[in-house]
Chain A
Amino acid sequence: MKKQKWKSKPIQKRVPPKPAPQPTKPSVYIIGDRQIVEEVLPAFASADYSLHYRINSSSDRTVPSTHSSKGKQELVPENVTFALELSNLDLELKRRNLEFLDRSLNPSAVIISSSVAVSASEQSSWLGHKHRLVGCAALPWIIGRPLIEIAPTPFTTTGTVTAVQSFFRSIGKEIEIVQDRVGLVFPRLLCRVINETAYALQDEIAAPQDIDAAMKLGAGFPLGPIEWADRIGLDQVYAVLKALHTDLGQERYCMAPLLKQMALGGTWWHRTQVQTDERSEA
């Protein structure tokens, strides 16, 4: 019997199984005023989106986290399904941002745009694809709350509204749909109270800290109106009040001269003090 020569079998290279193709994460693109953009980012911490943002008057950046897209840092990635335009301070820049998004995005992508300083309907007149725009109440502090107001325009399709509802739910926010008017609901209410506070300060009715204490202890406000103005920024309050006065054309939105002076002078009650102190320390 012929001895069978043992022959080793060639070692088969273990080829790891091919991973199943991962579904591409939907991308979200955010652009706007620094404070609002920075305050909306934490909402995406646990959401499954590829996140890209750009701050007005600053260089393009992607988020340095697992949410960032790798490789080429595109201005607007191709697979963006939702874009948030969160500018209130410079409406010319806002218009350029929206026109840029409208040109760059796939027509099926949705644009959610802050409509506290200009109505969503007016913004839609700047776009070729009007159906995809929905307004929202975006101001610093307010953008971080658990509820966001949205305002569809007469051109917004039902599909867009449904998509926006699902989008905000996916980042843990409740929504309330309101009619499209400058300031929507809470920004309008709050800025009106801040304006009246500025009149009270101008008339020297009480000291700033006393007004805050009065409204918290006597009226159940969670923050005093001056604290709120500091937190939101008088520049943002100014933008909303100016839009309300222009849009609604009523004397009751006439801005307190003190507020106007402080906002245009780039100063506001406490925040300026903090910033000045920081600068002097530096």
Chain B
Amino acid sequence: MDFTFTHCMLSPNDQKNVFVVIPAYNEQESITKVLNELSSLPYNIIVVDDGSTPPLEGLLKNTPVHLLKHRVNLGQGAALQTGIEFALSKNADFIVTYDADGQHRAADIETLLWPLRQHQTDITLGSRFISNTSQLPPGRRSVLKLARYINFFFTGLLLSDAHNGLRALTSKAAQQIRLRQNGMAHATEIIAEIKKHRLKFTEVPVTIHYTDYSKKKGQTVWSSFRIFFDILLNKLFK
């Protein structure tokens, strides 16, 4: 009885099973805050602990979270793929990827889900450059501009934001996309997979909070070179 009652209360859209996948590697300082922000919202949360030392498990006691642990550190791409596969096994309708370093705003998730709920698109990608609400540290803007053209070079798609961790996918899209880039190059790989499987995508404006912590954990110019070579080597070796 209870069950049918709640059914009537919700509009069809609210019943959608949303899973937020958070890959986390040594994010002890920020993970609790991120989860506090998310736990009031009607989403299922998956944290993939990518081999953190000390493990994140202790910090996550009694939180509404599915915790998956990589025994060894594999990289953000691998953690995302693990979380996405687990979400699919739990019959997720929509899967959101979300960074653990506190850069994202939980309120942006609904903005990303909206076009999916309307069946307009298969994937929405967060972009900090559509509206100018993010205060970028100096230097970061030019690195991302460069990365944008590197992505274009490898994938043929020119997006406004090259490396934004906030995305939303339908289960159909998530089943087709398979990330083989364990490291940071997965951001480019996702775009390549979108193109390969001819998925429909939309860029959606989101706000990125730059904190001292996230700046410290974030990508540098040097890591963009590493990503570049990861992609290049992956092209050579299937």
Real complex partners, A and B?
no
Q: Which residues of B contact A (CB under 8 A)?
A: none
Query: A residues within 8 Å of B by Cβ?
Result: none
